[in-house]
Chain A
Amino acid sequence: MDKQLDLLQGTLDMLILKAISLSPLHGYGILLRIQQISKERLEIQQGSLYPALYRLEHHGWIKSEWGESENKRRARYYRLTASGKRRLQSEAERWNQMSAVIAGILRATPEEL
């Protein structure tokens, strides 16, 4: 871990959706998955994960059920719903547009103005 980045506001929801779109995961698993994909460069306040999960479930984008973990413990698994898939798609598009715009702005040189 050389340098950790604070999560941008509002991006945690998207990352969670993305993480469980690959396969159903429990809360701790989601944390590990995000860190793994980000190559440990993103710092997530572990506690903040759960309010986000509850909120997403409340919106109907993810669904939870109790299952068994790798080490035979009862754990709560989350998976994406159909509307969750759509949500992830639109969030991702929005993010890409936004980052393109911001990148464009940051690339701007005096001559372009």
Chain B
Amino acid sequence: MNLWSRFRSWTAAMLRRTRMEREMDEEMRFHIEARTADLIRAGAPQPEALRQARLEFGGVETTKHECRDAVGVSFLETLLQDVRHGVRGMLRTPAFTAIAVIVLALGIGANTAIFSVVDAVLLRPLAYRDSGRLVTILMDGRFPVSVANYIDWRDQSRSFESMGAADYWSPNLTGIDSPENVRGLKVTQSLFPMLGVEPMLGRLFVEGEDKDGADREVILSYRLWQRRFSSDRNVLGKPIVLDGNAYMVVGVMPPGFQFAPFWATKAELWVPNAFGARIHDRGGNSLRIFARLRDGASLTQARAEIASITARLEQQYPGTNRDVVVTPLKEKVVGSIQTPLLVLLGAVAFVLLITCANIAHMLLARAATRQKEVAVRSALGARRGRLIRQFLTESLLLGSLGGAVGFVLAVVAMHALIALSPSTIPRVQTVSIDLRAALFLFSATILTSVGFGLAPALQASSVNMNDTLKEGGRGAGSGIRHNRLRAALVVSEFALALMLLVGAGLMIRTFAALEAVDAGFNPHHAVSMIVSVAGSREAEPGRRAIFYHQLIERVRALPGVEGAGGINHLPLAGDLWGWPFAIEGRPKPRPGESPSGVYRMVMPGYFAAMQLPIIRGRDVSDADTAAAPGVVIINECAANRYWPGEDPIGKRISFDEHKANPPTWLTIIGIAKNAKQGDWTADPDPEVYLAAFQNHEFLGNSKDSDPHISYITLVARTASDPAAVISAMKQAAWSFDRNLAIFQVVTMDGVVAEATAESRFEMLLLTIFASIALVLATVGIYGVIGYSASRRTHEIGVRMSLGATRKDVLLLVVKQGMWLTLAGLVAGLAGALVLSRLMTKLLFGVKPTDLLTFVAVAIGLGFVAMVACYIPARRATRIDPVTALRYE
């Protein structure tokens, strides 16, 4: 049926409807007039006759109503009628309506907001062609691999349609306005075609561009193109300067494009990856491998194949091909966040359940007061189904209002969630309240409405009309069954609230444990920033050392700065490159088993600035120049692991023993306290601090210097607010050279907060949900006990007149509430014991069955319940027995 004919049939029905109404009116008027005339003829006076005729006829409106029923009224009309009735009812009880709508809106809105996050982050496929077939191949499922391994896997495997690899690269973009360090990737030519993506402008890399010498091209992200090139289409074919070299722009990717979806998620430009001499390299692991499964090849087959290839390679080149894992790309992206998000979704669903139970309460209580209305309606011939339908329509009306307000709340909450979300949640920028979220909201609204409306509807419609009408206004049909339903609702509310509180409690304990973790250094009043020389004058060999030196001196001299130093990578910055080393005088270890340490390049003053204590020995000093003997500081972990029971100070290690002759030996001069390196909760690994000013490679003095290490992280210890010296520090650097890129300006407090951000996020949300649950459950029990106490006014009056004291009455009422609470607590504890296991991955320093949390939550909740019962109980004790008895 098209829209027009639909409209016509609707208008026809409407016209028929009005005609029927008119005729019905006329017909009944005729009846009454004819009857009146007859009565007058029989001798009655006119006004008396009319009155009599009307009386005999009965209710005209009721009759009309029944006539309409008799010919069958359309679904829509009944609905309209019920809606009208419902709206009137809602307007009559504005406070009830407002509370119900707010509670519902909270429940539905929170659920929709969380759902929109879960949907965007977990459920949606990655935005690549047939992304379910994409996998990553990494060491241990996490670590990058070497170029030679990549080439071997690519050439020897059959399960993959194509394979590509990417290296992280963050060059300085110079030559336009202020210099900026941009994040990017060096990718093999195969990578973009494998993803099945197309550029918005220009082209992708063509074959051969990842060969040496042909690699000076760049593809920009939409954002970078907008931000730095003012969305200029003519940028295609033009050169831009990256790390001092010219790259030609060949393409711009579309707005939504993101690659890589994990690790280098903020990449804004891509250049071809020319392996050059690295094709034979089986060390220097830096490549992330991506592959697409061939049609018909399963993940299991691919895994088996990679396992056999790497086993072969491991024999050939020991220590290079262990624990290579094939992981679906989606799993790699969302795997770690899946559990926390699902836990949050479950928690918020609990909140909605409690909301439902609460509204059901309120409706049940109201249904009790509406029993008379129901009885009258059924006496007038309303069938039970019709009554249920009307009640459900009213619930839906209430639910829809809640859903509408909930929609607004969801939008607000979603923005808050995005703002609060830790950076560890991938794809969070794609979260939006879209059609799917709207559909979710719609279904949640319907289900909720039916959920909270069904019980009261069944309850109310089963009223025995004779009893109710006889009982006058009291409507005492609220018998045992009625109360049992309400009791069940309260019990389940308490059980759900307890489970949520246990979850929140465990997260709070986790967060406290995280806060108590010793970072090793003092994060308060310390600030850091990365200063990159790439693309500037200071990058030239010979200049860097002088520049770094003078820069630190100048920062130290700034007012408010108490100390300053430099290092290549900060603790917690996520850089965990382990470098193998040899220990002087020890036998050559087997391949893959040599000692190694997370590799740091440190400048004098760093340890003092970070307040990272040197436990034994000394710090590097200005005397440790390139001309002086090589020195190194190790952390406690390295000392304990490689020199157990020995004093490592004075011992020598070498990083080039396997290739240099003679090797460079570095003397251990100090042992530093362990600092957190990557993961906040991980145990520290061995760490080695080399003296930066002794390292030619780091200073860019040797010819094959890695362009990666053309920056230092500057750290300053401040007297007061570290943020206050940031701009002075930047100016100090720029006073050397305007082309220096400065980025990742962070306070160390901020770095630590970032490390615990995910747990804080989870704790915050669970605590909010649990608080809502607590309030709702408390209101629930308060309502039920208060209601039942008011129902028992007569009974209490009798008891009191028979000699019951106020204390007896108090106990009587409170006891009833405490039984409900106890049942709820027991059910909740059982549920929490089962469900808290699901949270194991979110927890740190506390077991999912933590006794303290369980006991504290149960006691706390019990106490709150007691208070909630005490108030109506107190009121009950004030009952005047005489009044109470007369009440009957």
Interface on A for B, CB 8 Å cutoff? 26-28, 31, 45-48, 50-52, 54-55, 57-58, 69, 71, 73-76
Contacts and interface: CB of A to CB of B under 8 A. Distances in A.
B60 A47 contact: yes
Contacts of B35: 28, 46
Nearest to B26: A74
A7 B637 CA distance: 100
A57 to B, nearest CB: 8
B69 interface: yes
A55 B70 contact: yes
Contact of B31 (A28, A52, A71): A28
B63 A51 contact: yes
Interface stretch (B51-59, B261-269, B672-680, B719-727): B51-59
**What DSSP secondary structure best describes chain B's contact surface?**
helix
B67 interface: yes
Nearest to A56: B70
Contact of A28 (B34, B58, B67): B34
Given A28-B30, A46-B58, A54 B37 contact: no
Nearest to A46: B57
Contact of B30 (A46, A47, A54, A75): A75
B30 A69 contact: yes
A50 B67 CA distance: 6
B585 interface: no
Given A48-B58, A55-B70, A71 B26 contact: no
A10 B705 CA distance: 104
B256 interface: no
Name, among A26, A50, A57, A76, the residue most crowded by chain B CB atoms within 10 Å (CB to CB). A50
B33 interface: yes
A58 B72 CA distance: 9
Name, among B23, B62, B66, B72, the residue most crowded by chain A CB atoms within 10 Å (CB to CB). B66
Interface in B16-35: 23-24, 26-28, 30-31, 33-35
A54 B69 CA distance: 9
B66 A51 contact: yes
A50 B30 contact: no
B71 interface: yes
17 contacts: A28-B34, A31-B31, A45-B58, A46-B31, A46-B57, A47-B59, A47-B62, A47-B63, A48-B58, A50-B31, A50-B63, A51-B66, A55-B71, A73-B33, A74-B30, A76-B23, A76-B30
Interface of B: 23-24, 26-28, 30-31, 33-35, 37, 56-60, 62-63, 66-67, 69-72
A54 B28 contact: no
A69 B724 CA distance: 100
A69 B33 CA distance: 12
A54 B26 contact: no
Contacts of A50: 24, 27-28, 31, 63, 66-67
Given A47-B57, A47-B62, A54 B31 contact: no
A70 to B, nearest CB: 9
Contacts of B26: 74, 76
Given A51-B63, A76-B26, 4 more contacts: A47-B57, A48-B58, A57-B71, A73-B33
Contacts of A31: 31
Given A46-B57, A71-B37, A73-B33, A51 B27 contact: no
Given A26-B30, A73-B30, A54 B58 contact: no
Nearest to B35: A28
Given A28-B35, A46-B57, A47-B60, A58 B30 contact: no
Nearest to B23: A76
Nearest to A51: B66
Nearest to B71: A58
Given A28-B31, A28-B35, A74-B30, A47 B58 contact: yes
Given A46-B56, A74-B26, A27 B31 contact: yes
A59 B555 CA distance: 98
A27 B30 CA distance: 9
Contact of A76 (B27, B56, B57, B71): B27
Given A46-B57, A46-B58, A51 B70 contact: yes
A45 B66 CA distance: 14
A91 B376 CA distance: 32
Contacts of A51: 63, 66-67, 69-70
A58 to B, nearest CB: 5
Nearest to B60: A47
Name, among A26, A31, A45, A46, the residue most crowded by chain B CB atoms within 10 Å (CB to CB). A46
Contacts of A27: 27, 30-31
Nearest to B67: A54
Contacts of A46: 31, 35, 56-58
Contacts of A75: 27, 30
Contacts of A55: 70-71
Contacts of A73: 30, 33-34
A28 B60 CA distance: 15
Nearest to A29: B34
Contacts of B69: 51
B602 to A, nearest CB: 95
Contacts of A58: 70-72
Contact of A69 (B34, B58, B67, B72): B34
Given A26-B30, A27-B31, A28-B30, A54 B71 contact: yes
Nearest to A66: B23
A76 B24 CA distance: 10
A55 B70 CA distance: 5
A86 to B, nearest CB: 21
8 nearest CB pairs, A to B: A47-B58, A51-B66, A55-B70, A47-B63, A54-B70, A54-B67, A28-B34, A46-B57
A75 B58 CA distance: 20
A27 B27 CA distance: 8
A52 B37 CA distance: 24
B380 to A, nearest CB: 11
Contacts of A47: 57-60, 62-63
Contacts of A76: 23, 26-27, 30
Contacts of A57: 71
A58 B33 CA distance: 26
Name, among B27, B59, B69, the residue most crowded by chain A CB atoms within 10 Å (CB to CB). B27
A55 B60 CA distance: 17
B31 to A, nearest CB: 5
Nearest to B63: A47
Contacts of A52: 70
B448 to A, nearest CB: 37
Contacts of B72: 58
A45 B56 CA distance: 7
A48 B63 CA distance: 7
A9 B58 CA distance: 18
Contacts of B30: 26-28, 69, 73-76
Contacts of B60: 47
A7 to B, nearest CB: 14
A46 B57 CA distance: 5
A77 to B, nearest CB: 10
A28 B56 CA distance: 12
B182 to A, nearest CB: 77
A31 B63 CA distance: 15
A93 to B, nearest CB: 25
A54 B65 CA distance: 11
Contacts of A28: 30-31, 34-35
A31 B56 CA distance: 12
A51 B60 CA distance: 11
A79 to B, nearest CB: 15
A75 B33 CA distance: 11
A48 B381 CA distance: 12
A26 B34 CA distance: 11
Nearest to A26: B30
A49 to B, nearest CB: 8
Contacts of A69: 30, 34
B23 to A, nearest CB: 7
Nearest to B34: A28
